Amino acid sequence: MSGIPFRSVAAVERAVVACERCPSLRRYCRRVAEVRRRAFLAQRYWGRPVPAFGERRARLLVVGLAPAAHGGNRTGRMFTGDRSGDWLYEALYRFGFASQPVSTGRDDGMVLTDCFITAAVRCAPPGNRPSRRETEACRPYLAAEIALLEQVRVVLALGAFAHEQWLRASGWRERLRPAERPRFAHGAEHRLPDGTILLASYHPSQRNTSTGTLTRAMWHAVFRRARRHLDA
């Protein structure tokens, strides 16, 4: 994509952390950081927009919804500090994308290999439901990362929201006819005209995992497929 005002992924990260585009979201995240959850009263919350995390030459791009109020908003790292992150990093480790199976914070020594984790929205939204305006305000960051991560071959969208936002940020939603646009369904796989593989999975939210909507077997099957595509 042209017209992206960032020359590097590091520049995108700096812009994300300093972002003040959505005053209501910033107030909410700061308030959560000040009040804190009882289990984390002794910890200092990040309380800012959360940058993406991973290897710049990654071939696997994982796209989530947004940081959790007491997860990424606390730790400052995508999918870190909550049960969704526990599921994600365990799978990444199992299939050779992460150096350890648990991510606890920015200084825990976690290293991702051939993988980059981002989200459609970078501030923790109340109830995990960002508004349309907030989503659109954040989209340029995802679009910039997509443009800069030139080695990506497989995209894993976690949930229908991330699936739709990746299609919009990448430009594929506009370029494809309605009948050609990939539809979200757990386990769905689409090969786009440029060869990129778009995989879809239910989000590993506590609601999905505790009800059995998403099981470990279902979850691992998606990552196994990503691994096979990259090893082919």
* pLDDT for residue 1 is more than 80: no
Question: CA-to-CA distance for 139 and 162, rounded, in angstroms?
Answer: 11
Label residue 122 exposed, middle or buried (CB < 10 Å: 0-12, 13-18, 19+): buried
* pLDDT for residue 4 is more than 60: no
Q: What is the mean pLDDT of residues 83-100?
A: 98
Residue ranges per structural domain of the chain? 9-231
For domain 9-231, give the fold. Answer: Uracil-DNA Glycosylase, subunit E (3.40.470)
DSSP secondary-structure letter at 209?
H
Q: Which residue has the tokens 């799978």?
A: 91
Which amino acid is present at 230?
L
Question: CA-to-CA distance for 58 and 75, rounded, in angstroms?
Answer: 23
Question: CA-to-CA distance for 183 and 190, rounded, in angstroms?
Answer: 9
* pLDDT for residue 2 is more than 50: no
Q: What is the pTM of this model?
A: 0.96
Tens digits of per-residue pLDDT, 171-221? 999 999 999 999 999 999 999 999 999 999 999 999 999 999 999 999 999
User: Contact at 8 Å (CB) between 92 and 115?
Assistant: yes
CA 215 to chain centre: 20
DSSP secondary-structure letter at 154?
E
